[in-house]
Amino acid sequence: MATQALDRDQLDLTASRKTLILVWQNPESRLFAKVGQLDALPSGRFAFHYLPGAWDDPAFVPLLEYPDRDTAYVSDEVPAFFANRILSADRPNYVRYLRWLGIDDLSLDDVPFEVLARTGGGRATDTFHVVELPVTDGNRLTSRFFVSGVRHFPDSEGVIANLQNGATLRLELEETNDVNPKAVLVNTADGHRFGYVPDWLCGDVHARLKGGWSITAVAERVNPDAPAHIRVLCRLDAARI
């Protein structure tokens, strides 16, 4: 796979088809930082570069594949660091997996990048997570995420089994949470708790809830038969009042 190294000012991302953010969690402090950006370019190529915030935490070190903090790396295929996080099409139940993610109608070229966007590409062997760039203009924020932590709620299976696509959800601060005081619960409209906003996003959602923003959340896709981490795909829209 050919990779071209460019100066950052040589990289034009104005026509990027889709942007993913690489999130790193400090294994000691457990804090999350947005450290890199991967773009799908119109030419069918892919570009990765580091974000300025990557260097705010002295514990973060550059990836082996991308050693230079000021360089943009452009490749002909999804870079190996990210491609290795995508479920192989040879795996059993692959077609059903795409259905759970809500992307079974996409073209084959678009599937790998969208799998990363929907699943986060997490691996048990590291502390990285891939997320879709939230749409924000300072007054609005739109994001999709799979509800996390459903295993912590004994009644979650029954709640999710009765949840319909398009159902309104209610978000609730859980500031008494010992692990993460910025935790945000995901509830049904009638108050049944069944999961959390994922850690990489809860800080943003917490701040907007505390700031009095108007926030709506809906269950965009419900998969009662799926693995726990992809059972409910949520769409969140927040607006400054």
Token digits for 93?
């139940």
| CATH 3.30.70.2330 domain residues, the chain | 138-239
pTM of the model: 0.80
Contact predicate 48/72, CB 8 Å: yes
**Alpha-carbon span 198 to 187, nearest angstrom:** 14
138-239: which CATH architecture? Answer: 2-Layer Sandwich (3.30)
Angstrom distances, CA of residue 109 to CA of 37, 40, 106, 115: 20, 11, 8, 11
Contact predicate 113/40, CB 8 Å: yes
- Can you give the pLDDT of all 241 residues of the chain as single tens digits? 578 888 878 888 888 888 899 999 888 888 888 899 999 898 888 999 999 989 999 999 999 999 999 999 999 988 888 888 887 777 778 888 888 888 777 666 677 777 887 777 777 667 888 888 777 777 888 888 899 999 999 999 999 999 999 999 999 999 999 989 999 999 999 999 999 998 888 988 999 999 999 999 999 999 999 889 889 999 999 999 8
